[in-house]
Structure 1
Amino acid sequence: MRNPPRKWPMLPALVFLLAGCAAGGMPQSAAHLSTLQCRDLAALRNNAPPTPERNRSELAALRKAGYDPSRWFDPYYPEDLQAAQRQVDRWFQAECQQAPPA
């Protein structure tokens, strides 16, 4: 007797994943960066002295963009960090133009 292909056990997982992406994703119109993050990122870009608060704010933005600094071994470093930095830069350009620098 011939074994049938094993494609179907993955179908429920795929449906669940796609449903989660569709329902749980962040709306495109929602801001990704807070006012505080915009202010801190603007200050860092203008060569203001780094502070622990500014560093935490930048790290929170990078985490929101998908970077995970807590992994012990990251085979994708530094590419994943650079990708998150590019994403934060795009958010900054789109959302933080009106934020006054600190």
Structure 2
Amino acid sequence: MDGHLILRLILSAFTLLLAGCVVGGMPPYTGRHLSPTECRDLAALKSNAPPTFAQHQSELVALRKAGYNPSPWYDDPYYPDDLQAAQRLVDYWFQTECQLPPPG
């Protein structure tokens, strides 16, 4: 293959990829958002017990799933609004997806 044909194929594939993103990309996610480990760790964080590093990591993973992306440069113009929106979504997932044992 010559270079022009390869370039045209790459550009065509890229155009199709962009078109898929504009039209909606992937189908909506219908599965669980939080893993059992994340549910357990988030429940522990809510219990006011001393948190572990692993629990904080689970919380950060859940926040990233909810769309929060902490800036490594501390220059996020949307902070704290973006963090609070992700926290609300994670709280909703926690309430709807995490089965907690009955109290007592």
What TM-score comes out, normalization by structure 1 length? 0.73
Secondary structure, in 3 states, of the residue corresponding to 1:21?
coil
1:1-102 matches, cutoff 5 A? 15-17=19-21, 18-22=23-27, 25-26=28-29, 28=30, 30-72=31-73, 73-98=75-100
Gaps of at least 5 residues in structure 2 are 1-15
Q: Give unmatched runs, 5+ long, in structure 1.
A: 1-11
Deviations 1:21-54 (A, max 9, x none): 33xx42x2x1100000000000111111111000
Q: Distance in 2 between matches of 1:63 and 1:43?
A: 19
Q: Percent identity?
A: 60
Structure 1 counterpart of 2:20, which letter? Answer: F
Residue 3 of structure 1: aligned partner: none
- Residue 81 of structure 1: SS of its match in structure 2? helix
CA offsets per residue over residues 39-79 of structure 1, 9 Å max, x none?
00001111111110000000000000000013421100000
- Looking at both structures, which has the greater relative contact order when contacts are Cα pairs under 8 Å and sequence separation is at least 6? 1
Task: State how many pairs are aligned.
Answer: 86
